[in-house]
């Protein structure tokens, strides 16, 4: 079985500051890991995914995430926050041939 814990339901950063959204997973098999973003009144859009290739994964809009097996983590980062990054972010895990299991989400606010 798989599960995801996102630390912090709400994160607030200043424009230009580092964005760090935390995700820890649990999986009984090698995991596939994902970050999705949801803008207000929209569906979810894939930011990036880890599927057992490179441990540092680059996604869209300048985001990246690093898979750390020893820490069971897949934290999302962006060096410099933009106002347009304000959204809800979801981490998700799959065991490979099973549906995604999502975390509860982290709302990112960007302050001018």
Which residue ranges make up the site for other proteins (CB under 8 A)? Answer: 9, 32, 34, 36, 41-46, 49, 51, 90, 94, 96-105
17 vs 44 by CB, closer to other proteins: 44
Say if residues 44 and 90 touch (Cβ distance below 8 Å). yes
Return the number of the residue (84 or 97) whose C-beta is nearest other proteins: 97
Q: Which is nearer to other proteins, 53 or 99 (CB)?
A: 99
């Amino acid at each position: 079985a798989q599960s995801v814990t996102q630390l912090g339901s709400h994160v607030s950063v200043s424009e230009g500051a580092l964005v760090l959204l935390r995700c820890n997973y649990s999986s009984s098999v090698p995991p596939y890991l994902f970050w999705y973003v949801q803008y207000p009144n929209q569906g979810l859009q894939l930011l990036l995914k880890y599927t057992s290739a490179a441990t540092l994964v680059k996604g869209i809009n300048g985001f990246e995430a690093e898979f750390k097996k020893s820490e069971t983590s897949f934290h999302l980062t962006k060096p410099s926050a933009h106002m347009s990054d304000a959204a809800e972010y979801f981490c998700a895990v799959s065991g490979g041939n099973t549906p995604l299991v999502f975390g509860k989400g982290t709302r990112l606010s960007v302050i001018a």
